[in-house]
Structure 1
Amino acid sequence: MLESSGNSRNTASAAWNMFTTMLEYKCKREGTHFVEVDPAGTTKKCASCGVATDKPL
């Protein structure tokens, strides 16, 4: 178990970074595009037209 929450966040961040790095490598190898998107607001914005709307829970 990790000693502090700061360490667990760093470990999770490192794991996510390794995942995206490997995914980008595999996309380049297969000739496809890889675009890393900022996750802020992605659940509120329409993928087709880009309009942001509030979503009720």
Structure 2
Amino acid sequence: GKKSERTVFTMAKFTIPDDKCIVVELNEKNGGRHQSFVIENEDLVRADTINELQVR
């Protein structure tokens, strides 16, 4: 209900052509919740590089 969570996926920085996009889909195993979002090259170019990840 009233809980929030942040998940960070990391990979080496890359770009894609401006006319292409990446669609990320997350599906709950044995469940009915599904999420998807679109990543465009503009989002990748603006992304910050993480040199050290601090988990709290």
Structure with the largest fraction of helix: 1
Greater RCO (Cα-Cα under 8 Å, separation 6 or more): 2
Structure-1-length-normalised TM-score: 0.24
The structure having more radius of gyration, on CA atoms, is 1
TM-score normalised by length of structure 2 = 0.24
